[in-house]
Structure 1
Amino acid sequence: MKIALGSDHGGFQLKEYIKEHLEKRDIEYIDYGTDSTESVDYPEFGQKVAEAVKNGECDRGIVCCGTGIGISISANKVPGIRCALVSDCYSAKMSREHNNANVLALGARVIGKDLALEIVDVWIDTEFQGGRHERRVNKISDIENKYVI
């Protein structure tokens, strides 16, 4: 598995912790930035990660900003992306099992480092259940396709 990582300045430090954690787990990643705590605009990094997942360069993505809200909205603008903003392990599990989320968003100013790493582990280790959930995910894609120009 290869993970695309991205953050703005508010999520930079959490992204760095996640990188260290992925290295300990021998999980490959590509860091799409940012590379410091200097102020930047989150949409750029949400888009880069989402496009890497959409194009198959990476299997899944993880994005971080201060709240996780802005960067998740940005990632979700890329067709085919199902970015889930998660702040607990149960939601991380359900986002994978039921929604086949392919990008995880975390709020660095909302959750602590240890909880964030637990969420990352649950999210990475959980597979999509398919079945009735696949029908529902397909309906989400149908809505998206209706509005894609």
Structure 2
Amino acid sequence: MRIAIGCDHIVTDIKDKIIEMLKANKIEVIDCGTNDFKRTHYPIYGHQVAVNVVTKKADFGIVICGTGVGITNSAQKVKGARVVLAKDVLTAIDARQKYDANVVGFGGRIIGIGLMYEIIESFIEAKYLGKNDALINQIDSIVEKENYDSKIFDDEKHKWDQGFYN
């Protein structure tokens, strides 16, 4: 199994700990960043995780920011990504079983790492029950075109590199 993971600068340490836990359980990890605590533009990392999942480079994705809201919303904008912001095990399982969710998001300042990892384990163990294909196709059709090219962030990356954002 391969999981893509990404975060913003606020929770890099949490992402790194989750990566350690995944690797200890023999799960291959694609680390999409960020990799330090320097302020960054989190939609880049949510997008990269979702693209890795929908292009089948990863089986599942994990996105983490302070509350989970921003990075989860950015990952959700990738065609084919079905993202759940989870604060409990039941929500994650329900999202997998009923909606074939493929990315789970967390607020690193909202829930502890132990619960986060329990949710991840439950999320990847749960299986889609195959009962909502028409509904899932309808949800997936909301994003009309594939948007897998990360060049959409080139201008933002340049601004960040130039110190435009403080």
Q: TM-score range by the shorter chain?
A: over 0.9
- The answer on 1:114 being equivalent to 2:114 is yes
Amino acid at match of 1:137: I
Query: Residues of 1 paired with 2:104 and 2:50: CA distance?
Result: 10
Unaligned 5+ segments in structure 1 are none
SS at match of 1:45: helix
Query: Residues of 2 paired with 1:144 and 1:55: CA distance?
Result: 15
Query: Residues of 2 paired with 1:13 and 1:124: CA distance?
Result: 22
TM-score normalised over the length of structure 1: 0.92
Report deviation, 1:38: 1.6
Query: Residues of 2 paired with 1:136 and 1:120: CA distance?
Result: 24
Unaligned 5+ segments in structure 2 are 147-166
SS at match of 2:141: helix
Percent of aligned pairs with the same residue?
39
Query: Residues of 1 paired with 2:49 and 2:30: CA distance?
Result: 9
Report deviation, 1:32: 0.7
Contact 2:78 2:143 in 1 (8 A): no
- The answer on 1:5 being equivalent to 2:8 is no
Larger Rg: 2
Amino acid at match of 1:15: K
SS at match of 1:106: strand
What's 1:20 paired with? 20
Report deviation, 1:57: 1.2
TM-score normalised over the length of structure 2: 0.83
Q: How many residues align?
A: 146
- The answer on 1:139 being equivalent to 2:138 is yes
